[in-house]
Amino acid sequence: MSKAQREALVEALQSYSEQEMEQELGQFEAEFLLDFMLPRLGTLCYNKGLEDARIAILARMELATEVVYEMEQPCDL
């Protein structure tokens, strides 16, 4: 992720912590929390993305298969 994205996530963690838990989270603590969460959440999100892609590809393949069957010509043999 870019430096700007990382900074935005750290700020979001700090803001969430202050608003929802009434706990001030310093930059150092927020970065540690982010470093802890990213590999775990990243893997889950990555795998979910792959599953969504697989479902989309299978749906397209089914549609393509239907189109191919529609193209078949009758054979009088």
15-73 pLDDT, tens per residue? 999 999 999 999 999 999 999 999 999 999 999 999 999 999 999 999 999 999 889 98
Answer yes or no: is 33 within a domain: yes
Return d(Cα 5, Cα 11) in angstroms, integer.
10
Place of tokens 């775990």: 40
Answer yes or no: is 77 within a domain: no
pLDDT for position 77: 80
Domain count, the chain: 1
DSSP category for residue 16: H
Instruction: Kindly tell me if the per-residue pLDDT of 76 is higher than 90.
Output: no
pLDDT for position 12: 97
Q: Which domain holds residue 9?
A: 3-70
Answer yes or no: is 25 within a domain: yes
Six-digit token string for 67? 């189109």
68/77: higher pLDDT: 68
Is the distance from CB of 14 to CB of 27 less than 8 angstroms?
yes
Q: Which amino acid is at 56?
A: A
Six-digit token string for 7? 């900074």
